[in-house]
Structure 1
């Protein structure tokens, strides 16, 4: 039995041709031919059982045989806002693993103690799409551009908002315990850089309605903290 092949095709139901990158993979790597079965995903909650209708050296056309609407394995909306690390491969790892776990949106923050002031979100998007295909996730997380901490904090957001930090002098709740005991539909959680948020940033976020939380007793690296936060939120929304 052949393994099911999944391809990311935005608006798949309104197209009949694989995008260029997916075409290359389908024709040059998998060597699909006319009549071969494949599965498409639109990143908005639908899979499509399709068949190759025309395979040339540059094009791969398809027709849809069946639409397969999917349900998320979690409720609501999970938004991770995180300061990117100096070594971008750690953020790429986080994006991949968080997508496998399941979340909805990621924003990168420039904070007072940030080591990185720029990153290529197009590369992060490719990693997210690849992870979604590999883990059969019908929703593609939104990847937002890098923005300043203050700008992000001042934007209105629905649902509960949290800032995770390590300052002992600021009272904080356990993130997971609080999620499991409270009503949650939309969750935004902030994770700082290796040097943490500045204490002024934490206080500013709290003044804007963000809840002060801890991710546990262990001292975590930024990418680990981000993945733990997503996992905790995911479990609470099942």
Structure 2
């Protein structure tokens, strides 16, 4: 199955922009009458037919609408962006494939970068949704100071974690997770969190957690955290 993306699908027919039309007709060689699947990124899957294979303005007809229910849990990952922007692009792509719901970039004491190319990150996320057949596009937030994120009352009902490297912080995230919750997990920069930032998180009831014995790059730690939460919620009898 191939999945295509189009925002704001509201009518029974819709048209693709020139870039998407050319990709569908010229590159993939789709023709009038071919069946295709689209998502709006908001949980809907549309089974469709191409009714006009114009490579500049392809017209699509919706045959059937299917709705994907929300997960029983919610993963919000917050990370300090690294100096290498390509690694951040790779990270959001893989987080989307694994199954993150929301990504925030946060500014911490040892942050290496404060500006990101959000248009490129959004493209990577949408491409990953199509690749992994996901009908929901994760929410992507701009850079926010860590202090503001930690102090935000909207996370009071979340199970909140801060992952960092310390030989005394040896209890794995998997052991601390409660199933079917909303989660917020903080991943620091390559220089990790400062002692003041750790204390701030503890003061706001964030739980310390480990992601294993190895020292991980920031983006690797992000993938490990999201995969762990997905595994905890999708395995039976845990």
Q: Please give the TM-score of this superposition, normalised by the length of structure 1.
A: 0.90
- The SS at the match of 2:76 is strand
| 1:155 and 2:152 are equivalent in the alignment | yes
- The SS at the match of 2:229 is helix
- The SS at the match of 2:15 is coil
Measured after TM superposition, the shift of residue 96 of structure 1 is 1.2
Residues 137-184 of structure 1 deviation map (CA, whole Å, 9 limit, x = unaligned)? 111111111111112212121321111111346x563211111xx344
Measured after TM superposition, the shift of residue 71 of structure 1 is 4.4
| 1:145 and 2:142 are equivalent in the alignment | yes
Alpha-carbon distance change, 145 to 20 in structure 1, aligned in 2, over 3 angstroms: farther
The answer to whether the 8 Å contact 2:73/2:179 transfers is no
Residue 104 (structure 2) aligned to one of 78, 103, 107:
107
Q: How far apart, in 2, do the equivalents of 1:58 and 1:90 lie? A: 34
The answer to whether the 8 Å contact 1:121/1:144 transfers is no
Measured after TM superposition, the shift of residue 86 of structure 1 is 0.8
- The SS at the match of 2:14 is coil
Residue 192 (structure 1) aligned to one of 182, 188, 194:
188
Residue 65 (structure 2) aligned to one of 64, 67, 77:
67
Residue 56 (structure 1) aligned to one of 39, 48, 54:
54
Alpha-carbon distance change, 87 to 57 in structure 1, aligned in 2, over 3 angstroms: same
Residue 217 (structure 1) aligned to one of 201, 213, 220:
213
Q: How far apart, in 2, do the equivalents of 1:52 and 1:165 lie? A: 50
The answer to whether the 8 Å contact 1:7/1:22 transfers is no
Structure 1 gaps of 5+ residues are none
Residue 116 (structure 1) aligned to one of 113, 121, 127:
113
Q: What CA RMSD, in Å, does the superposition of the two structures yield over aligned residues?
A: 1.8
The answer to whether the 8 Å contact 1:41/1:47 transfers is yes
Structure 2 gaps of 5+ residues are none
| 1:208 and 2:207 are equivalent in the alignment | no
Q: How far apart, in 2, do the equivalents of 1:81 and 1:103 lie? A: 11
Q: How far apart, in 1, do the equivalents of 2:2 and 2:170 lie? A: 46
Q: How far apart, in 1, do the equivalents of 2:18 and 2:160 lie? A: 39
| 1:25 and 2:23 are equivalent in the alignment | yes
Measured after TM superposition, the shift of residue 108 of structure 1 is 0.8
Residues 67-109 of structure 1 deviation map (CA, whole Å, 9 limit, x = unaligned)? 122346x531101101111111111111111111111011111
The answer to whether the 8 Å contact 1:109/1:146 transfers is yes
Q: How far apart, in 2, do the equivalents of 1:51 and 1:210 lie? A: 49
The answer to whether the 8 Å contact 2:17/2:56 transfers is no
Residue 37 (structure 1) aligned to one of 20, 35, 38:
35
Measured after TM superposition, the shift of residue 8 of structure 1 is 0.6
Q: How far apart, in 1, do the equivalents of 2:20 and 2:102 lie? A: 23
Query: How many aligned residue pairs are there?
Result: 231
